[in-house]
Homo-oligomer: A and B are copies of this chain.
Amino acid sequence: MPSSAGISIGYLAERTGLAVSAIRYYEAQGLVEPWRNAGGQRRFHRADIRRMSFIMIAQQFGFSLPEIRGFLKDLPGGRTPTKEDWARISEGFRTHLDQRIETLVKLRDNLDGCIGCGCLSLPNCKLYNPEDRAAQKGQGPRYLMGDRPEAENGH
């Protein structure tokens, strides 16, 4: 229940769909700064509902929590994004998203070019080529992402 002096962590969780533990984790990561009431319990601004939403949306776009913290800190006064802030920030999202889509489409095109070629071990296969592999981002071994191309010879 929202009292006049800020909202509880449970209420914030209920309104955003986040787990209570996640909100506490976000606080630990510096994404939100609740104050404490007399009994030591966290109290949040109502605006933090929107702040949490912003975090969740930014996550959908693939931003890490540190990056999101950066967005939130860059806002004058460290406030939760307003309509204008949001418009500005979404340009960045858009670019990020476009890049990711482009990467996947390229990957798909390579796949189409390779279906049935059976060339997985050949140096001219674009899927196998380390240069192309280095271009991808995401989880996976780090040495695929920018390390040694090395002399590859098909066998």
Contact = CB atoms under 8 A, between A and B. Distances in A.
B145 A100 contact: yes
Nearest to A115: B90
A35 interface: no
A105 interface: yes
B97 A107 contact: yes
A97 B145 CA distance: 10
**Do most interface residues of chain A lie in helix, strand or loop, or is the interface mixed?**
helix
B98 A101 contact: no
A57 interface: yes
Interface in A59-88: 59-62, 81-84, 86-87
Nearest to A138: B145
Given A56-B144, A117-B83, A101 B97 contact: no
Contact of A50 (B18, B104, B121, B141): B121
Contacts of A24: none
7 contacts: A18-B141, A50-B120, A59-B144, A93-B111, A97-B107, A98-B108, A101-B108
Interface of A: 14-15, 17-19, 22, 46, 49-50, 53-54, 56-57, 59-62, 81-84, 86-87, 90-91, 93-94, 97-98, 100-101, 104-105, 107-108, 111-112, 114-118, 120-121, 127-128, 130, 133, 136, 138-145, 148, 150, 152, 155
